[in-house]
Every structure is written in C-alpha cells, then in structure tokens.
Amino acid sequence: MDFKDIRPAAGVGRKIHIETYGCQMNVVDSETVVAIMQREGFVWTDNVREADVILLNTCSIRDNAEQRIRHRLDELSAMKRRRKGLVLGLIGCMAERLREQILEQHPAVDIIAGPDAYRSLPLLVGEVSEGGRGVNVELSKEETYAEISPVRLDANGVGAFVSIMRGCNNFCSYCVVPYTRGRERSRDPETILREVRELFDAGYREVTLLGQNVNSYNYELRTDDKPRDIEFTRMSEARRKKTKLITNYERGYAEKQANNCIDFPELLRRVAEISPLLRVRFATSHPKDMSDELLAVMASMPNICRAIHLPAQSGSSRVLERMNRKYTREWYLGRIAAIRRAMPDAAISTDLIAGFCGETPEEHAQTLSLMREVGFEFAFMFKYSERPDTAAARTMADDVPDEVKTARLNEIIALQNELSLASNRRDVGREFEILVEGFSKRSRDKVFGRTLQNKVVVIPRAKNHPGCEPCSQPPLHGRGTCPDHKPGDYVKVRITGCSSATLQGEEV
Ligand code: 5AD
Ligand code: SF4
C-alpha cells in the first residue's frame, strides 16, 4: 500500500461526498466507505454541489441529532429535485434504526445502509441506477472491515482514527448503540498494526484507537490457529503461515496466545511500540473494564496519552443501577484512584447525563459532588433523551421535566467550566511537549498543538532560533522569514496563560 491510498485518489469517475454526524467512530466509518467506493471507481469530492452520490452518515444517540439530520435531508431533497440523477443515501445508526420510516417519509432517499452494510454500497448505488432503491440494514456478528484501510479525509495529516472494534454488548438502559451497531466484535490485530504502520510511514504522528468500549477488546485466535506443536503437524501451509506470523510476537504476546486471545493492554503496547514518535490515544473506556494492567501499560510507555476518557454518566449509585452501568459511585472513584496512582499527571475526562429517569435533586447533587471529587479536566454533558425501544424507554418513565433537565445540565456545565479553568491554571508555569496540528483559529501568527493530556496549547507560529533579529524583538516575533512550526512537529513549551478551554504557551 502507498500513500495515494491513504489520501483521496484524484482522477475521473462518479463523485461521492459524505457528510458525517455523531461520534469519532462515524468519522472513520465514512473514511472506510470512501475506500470501498474508491475501489469501485468513485472519486471523493469535498464539494457537495458537484457530487453524484451524497451520503449522510448518521447518528441516533439523542433525538436532537436525528432532528438535525432530518432537516438536512429536507435541504438535500430540494437539491435533488433540481439535479437529475443525483443519488441520495442515508447510512449509519439512523438508517439502521428508522429504515422504512425514512423511506416512507423522505421519498428522495435512494439508499439506506446500516453500519455493517458498507461493503454493499457500490451494489446499492447500482440498484438505484437501475431505477430501484437500495436497502441493506443487516447487522453482522463478524464485520470489522478489517482489511480495508480507510481513505483519510482529515485536513492536517497528523492524527487519524483507527477502528479496533465495533458494536457494544453493554446495554446501558438509555443507549441505542447496541441496537444500531449490533454486538461487540474485535478487529484482527494484524490488520490494526499494519494500518497504523502505514499511517506512520505516511507522516501521521498520532492515532486514536476507537471502539464503543475499547478496553473490552479481545481478539480470539481461532482454535485452529492455536500455536501448539501437535497442531502444526496437521496445519495447512496457509494456516501455518498465519500462526508463524502471530508466534513471531514476543514474550507477553506469546503468553496471551497460549490463552488464545489478545486483549486491549497487549494491543495498545504493540501499537505504541511501532515508534516512540507516534502518539497513541484511545476512546472510549468503560469504568467496569478499566484494568490495572491497562494502566500499567500506559504508565510504562511515554508515547501513550496521559488522558483517559472514562464516562461516569452519573454520580449516584442508584441512578447508575437504573442506567445498568454495572458499577457504583465507589467503584468509579476506586478506578480514579488507581489512575492517579499509576499516572499522577493523567487528565481525566468524562460523559455526564442530566435528568435521567427518576433522577431526584439529591441524585443530581451527587453528580455535582462526583465532579468536584474527581476534578475532571473535561466533560461531554448531555440532557437525557429517551430513545425508543431501549430498556429505559420500555420500563421507566422519562419523568424529569425538560426545564429541570435544562437547569441541571446548566449547573453541570457551569461546574465543569470552573473545574477546567482550575485544572488549566495549575498548568501555568509548567512545561509540556506538544504535537503541532495547525494554525490557531484566531490568528495565522499562531499555531496550536496538544499535550499528552489532550489539552490544546496555542504558541507563536515562528520557531525560536537564537540570533534571529525578528525573533528577539517581541512585536516582530513570527514575522519575516523565520521558520515556522509545522503540523506534525513536536515542540517543548512552557504554559504562560489560560482560559477554561485552552492554554497559551511559548517554546522553551
Ligand atoms: N440521552 C442522553 N445522552 C446519551 N448518551 C447516550 N445515550 C444517551 C441518551 N439517550 C451519551 C452518554 C454516552 C455518550 C456517547 O452519549 O453520555 O457516553
Ligand atoms: Fe451505549 Fe453503554 Fe455501549 Fe456506551 S457502553 S455505547 S453508553 S450501551
């Protein structure tokens, strides 16, 4: 594989454009779809107006996500009336969940494809060309798109998402994901390592390993791949080759093989070993699976992020039980203590839901107290949104009035702003290494990058280089012919100031 496969191919062909909604998993899914379509002669365009095929990769996690997408679908339906031959498709979670309903209510939609049906998209487009509508919402127990390297659509070429597993088995009572994305399955580690190596060779310096619940990653080698001598004698040549490849991995890995599986700590270690210049992140972890072994692997490798996203959802054990989260407040705090023991410098972020079924003022107050106790660096915060057919929708009343949900969410947001600001203030005066991603949004004289803790730091665009006249004169700093920091550069910085969202710094 070479670089032109990693970036969209140029050339002539029917043009495809995808708009992506929702989580990071959808971002990498869209890139996988582009890879699939490119193989069939389609060409990516980032201009929706020149596309022959427009796909919306959708999200069902909350009602407002679905409403936004329906609105966009109306706009694109109007565009389709003006442009004969335009193919319009809905893919992803909302396609999986609403199928017939979308086909009935949005006659302009030609294609419906669920998250496990992307290999059939070229075929579905073909069905549309023949005058039909293409529909495939079958969920799979095996599909991981393992051998397909996504075509990267990001702007900077520094960071890429790598899917390591799909689906979810947790069935949190509020969550639609197990229904739209199906059961949990792990991707073949060989293909993950190969993809990451290709990214690194193409200049990428950060990968984020993705899954709904990455720390339950567990790739089971098939029983007939088991590297036992007795079986070697009976193995076909092809199978022996595969086994040899796997047995080539060293020590710890070999032990795991004896148990016939590769788990997340092991995978993470192997990915981080690809190069010390490659930063490795991952999301999302479930508190119940946050093992000491994983923390030990993280602590032992300086290129694994010092940032853990650990969704708490609520600070009340009673609410957590209704949510079917399978842990208590005390367990969660125990895991936080374990993280702090292993990595005192780790940043911890979370997801929180305000106003879940039956949430009392006391239970809400426990969420606020958990936030204070942990001192989260960052949080994604949501109002509970009932999703049809989930356990919560079937068995519990969505009985917290909307104004109360809003008021509670606002309290949570205000507290998080305080905590983020306090955390950032503690960083002022400290030194970090950042990986530069691009220009600052506010000024072309500045660039931004992230620390291992995933905090954004803005620094002057020009490199410090002693003896340079403009660099030594602060008002001129970064003008003239001074060399610039480029995306992909590592820069040592000292933090000089902050807001609740970003840090400002200078090169040291
Ligand atoms: N309502 C509100 N938030 C939800 N999430 C998942 N389902 C819902 C829902 N029905 C949030 C959780 C999860 C994040 C991805 O989205 O906090 O961690
Ligand atoms: Fe949804 Fe829970 Fe699975 Fe996350 S772990 S995707 S919240 S069911």
| Residues 6 or more apart whose Cβ sits within 8 Å of residue 211 | 25, 163, 164, 165, 166, 217, 284
Q: What is the pLDDT of residue 423?
A: 98
Mutate to test the pocket of ligand 2, among 177, 181, 216 (most ligand atoms within 8 A of CB): 177
Instruction: Please say whether the dihedral angle defined by the alpha carbons of residues 5, 9, 13 and 14, taken in this order, is positive or negative.
Output: positive
In this model, does residue 244 exceed pLDDT 80? Answer: no
How many other CB atoms are there within 10 angstroms of residue 239's CB atom?
Answer: 15
For residues 262 and 92, give the distance between their C-alpha atoms in angstroms, rounded to a whole number. Answer: 28
**What is the 8-class DSSP label of residue 62?**
S
Q: Which atom of ligand 1 is nearest to the CA of 392?
A: 10
Q: What is the mean pLDDT of residues 88-106?
A: 96
Please give the distance, rounded to the nearest whole angstrom, from the Cα atom of residue 382 to the centre of ligand 1.
7
CB 413 within 8 A of CB 382: no
Phi, psi at 441, each rounded to 5°: -65, -30
Task: Supply the pLDDT for residue 208.
Answer: 98
Respond yes or no on whether the N-terminal peptide bond of residue 233 is cis (omega within 30° of 0): no
Higher pLDDT, 129 or 4: 129
Cα-Cα-Cα-Cα torsion 398, 399, 400, 403, nearest 10 degrees, comes to 90
C-beta separation of 103 from 109 below 8 A: yes
CA dihedral of 382, 386, 387, 393, whole degrees rounded to 10: 140
167 CB within 6 A, ligand 2: no
**Whole-number average pLDDT of the chain:** 90
Euclidean distance between CA atoms 431 and 492, whole angstroms: 7
Residue type at 151? V
User: Which residue CA neighbors atom 5 of ligand 2 most closely?
Assistant: 170
- Decide the pairing of beta strands 431-439 and 490-498: antiparallel
H/E stretch holding 409 reads: helix 402-427
| Residue 225 pLDDT > 90 | no
pLDDT given at position 15: 96
How far, in Å, is the centroid of ligand 1 from the Cα of 352? 8
In this structure, which residue's CA is closest to atom 7 in ligand 1?
A: 175
CA-nearest residue, atom 14 of ligand 1? 351
Measured CA to CA, the distance from residue 454 to residue 29 in angstroms comes to 23
| Statement: residue 282 has pLDDT above 80 | yes
Q: Using N-to-C axis directions, what is the helix angle for 361-374 and 329-342, rounded to 10°?
A: 10
For the cut 90, the answer to whether the pLDDT of residue 480 exceeds it is no
198-207, 288-297, 367-376, 436-445: which range is least confident on average?
A: 436-445
Query: Would you say the CB of residue 314 lies under 6 angstroms from ligand 2?
Result: no
From the CB of 170, is ligand 1 less than 6 Å away? no
Ligand 1 centroid from CA 72, angstroms: 22
Question: pLDDT-based confidence at 121, cuts 50/70/90?
Answer: very high
Token pair listed for 7? 């970036």
Ligand 1 pocket: which of 25, 174, 212 to mutate (most atoms within 8 A of CB): 174
**Ligand 1 pocket test, candidate residues 353, 359, 381, 398, most atoms within 8 A of CB:** 353
Cα of 172 to ligand 1 centre, how many Å?
9
Residue scoring higher pLDDT (324 or 464)? 324
pLDDT at 451 over 60: yes
Q: Could you please report the per-residue DSSP string of 189-201?
A: HHHHHHHHHHHHH
pLDDT digits (tens, 9 = 90+) for 482-506: 678 999 999 999 999 999 999 999 9
Ligand 2 atom index nearest CA of 212: 6
Triad 361, 414, 401: Cα angle to 5°: 40
Token pair 């070429």 in the structure block, residue: 157
CA distances 106 to 55, 71, 75, 259, 267, Å, are 14, 11, 11, 51, 43
Mean pLDDT of 326-331: 97
| pLDDT tens digits along 7-25 | 898 888 999 999 999 999 9
Q: How many CB atoms lie within 10 A of CB 40?
A: 14
- Scored b (16 or more CB within 10 A) or e, 412-431 reads beebbeebbeebbeebeeee
43: enclosing H helix or E strand: strand 43-44
Which ligand minimizes its atom distance to the CA of 392? 1
Is the CB–ligand 2 distance for residue 168 below 6 Å? Answer: yes
What's the pLDDT at 226? 46
**Rounded to whole angstroms, what are the CA distances from 78 to 108, 351, 450?**
9, 37, 41
Pocket test for ligand 1, best of 349, 359, 382, 384 (most atoms within 8 A of CB): 382
pLDDT at 248 over 60: no
Share of the chain above pLDDT 90, in %: 82
